[in-house]
Amino acid sequence: MADWLALDRASQRAWPALITERYDGWVLRYARGYTRRANSITPLVASSLPLARKVACCQRRYVEQGIEPVFRIVDRGPALGVDAWLAAAGWGKRDPTLVLCRPLDSTTAEARLLAAADDVDALGIEDWIDAFVRITCDGREQGPHREMLWRVATHSLRLMLQRDGQPVGCALAVLRDGWLSLLDVAVVQAWRRQGLGSLMLQRALAWGAAQGAVGAVLSVTATNKPARALYARLGFTASYAYWYRHPPI
Ligand SMILES: CC(C)(COP(=O)(O)OP(=O)(O)OC[C@H]1O[C@@H](n2cnc3c(N)ncnc32)[C@H](O)[C@@H]1OP(=O)(O)O)[C@@H](O)C(=O)NCCC(=O)NCCS
């Protein structure tokens, strides 16, 4: 499958920050604090400036924006040198996350799945955000989330499942660089283990395959056993991993 750098780029573009800066081989993303993924520093390629100076400069930039400076460290390449430096400086490692992927084929299995998932609704952004908040009980201010969704509006599918007239499941599928990213996947507690998560993702995969995506990609916290089991059943396997480094207290 694709190399991890291409996958990482596609995944990050599918969950766009509101501001993205490049600084000597590092990517700095800001989205008014909504999700760490869109509000973190990712060292990607080897850099030339002294690390202590660079890290201090990044910290200042995030603090000025009222955002906690957090590094997102991938488990390979020059990022590992940065990780060792941060660890020695007391930055705490949190939430190891796996990036999983699987190939898509428009001509076979995925196309057939579409029919099986025909009661999954595709919503506009405002209706989908309402459903997302009800399903996840997410108390965060949704302004940045809304802006991020608008940025991918023309190449995404916002899915929602209802039961008894109530929204019970949601998922977001975004097509970027030929890859289908799956995000914001959730089913309300009372409706779990009844195949709804699978149904929504099958619908998303069918859509991605029909759009010509070569594969699907998603991130899952390593400790999230239910989600990992669901994704394994849908044929996803691990490609690479990342974790976060938070500043010393
Ligand atoms: C992950 C989640 C979306 C799964 O939704 P779901 O509707 O319960 O999933 P399904 O019923 O389609 O499960 C399909 C298969 O996944 C596996 N699975 C799902 N939940 C599981 C669990 N709690 N323990 C073990 N396996 C599980 C099983 O193999 C299951 O098939 P089975 O029930 O026939 O054994 C749901 O648990 C959820 O909303 N979790 C909180 C939000 C979250 O973590 N989202 C994912 C972020 S990456």
Q: Are residue 209 and residue 110 in the same domain, yes or no?
A: yes
| 21 and 93 co-located in one domain | yes
- What is the number of the ligand 1 atom nearest to the C-alpha of 219? 48
CA dist 40 and 13 (Å) reads 14
Nearest CA, atom 44, ligand 1: 227
pLDDT for 92-102, tens place per residue? 999 999 999 99
| Final residue in a domain of this structure, among 98, 122, 157 | 98
pLDDT at site 46: 84
**pLDDT number for residue 113:** 59
- Mark whether 127 and 67 lie in a shared domain: no
Does ligand 1 have an atom closer than 6 angstroms to the CB of 230?
yes
Q: How far is CA 109 from CA 20, 140, 186, 200, in A?
A: 37, 38, 24, 15
- Whether 192 is in a domain gets the answer yes
Both 76 and 32 in one domain: the answer is yes
Same-domain pairing of 111 and 209: yes
Instruction: Please choose from 119, 230, 233, 242 the residue to mutate so as to test ligand 1's pocket, defined by most ligand atoms within 8 A of CB.
Output: 230
Atom of ligand 1 nearest to the CA of 199: 12
User: Is any ligand 1 atom within 6 A of the Cβ of residue 227?
Assistant: yes
**Residues with Cβ within 8 Å of residue 139, at least 6 apart in sequence:** none
**Domain count for the chain:** 2
Looking at the structure, do residues 25 and 73 belong to the same domain, yes or no? yes
* Residue 196, helix vs strand vs coil: helix
The residue whose CA is least distant from atom 21 of ligand 1 is 226
Please indicate whether residue 193, judged by its CB atom, sits closer than 6 Å to ligand 1.
yes
Q: Which domain holds residue 42?
A: 4-98
Mutational pocket test of ligand 1: of 100, 192, 224, 225, the residue with most ligand atoms within 8 Å of the beta carbon: 192
Q: Are residues 114 and 208 in the same domain?
A: yes
Residue 169 and residue 84 in one domain? no
For 119-231, strand residue ranges (E) read 121-122, 156-163, 166-176, 179-187, 215-221
Does the C-beta of 222 come closer than 6 Å to ligand 1? Answer: no
Q: What is the β-pairing status of strands 215-221 and 179-187?
A: parallel
Q: What is the position in ligand 1's atom list of the atom closest to the CA of 224? A: 44
CB of 208 within 6 A of ligand 1: the answer is no
Residue with tokens 């957090």: 70
User: CB of 224 closer than 6 A to ligand 1?
Assistant: yes
| CB-ligand 1 contact for 185 (6 Å cutoff) | yes
Q: Taking a C-beta distance cutoff of 8 angstroms, is the pair 230, 182 a contact?
A: no
Q: What is the pLDDT along the chain (249 residues), one digit of tens a residue?
A: 679 999 999 999 999 999 999 999 999 999 999 999 999 999 988 889 999 999 999 999 999 999 999 999 999 989 999 999 999 999 999 999 999 999 998 765 555 555 556 678 899 999 999 999 999 999 999 999 999 999 999 999 999 999 999 999 999 999 999 999 999 999 999 999 999 999 999 999 999 999 999 999 999 999 999 999 999 999 999 999 999 999 998
Give the closest residue (by CA) to ligand 1 atom 37.
226
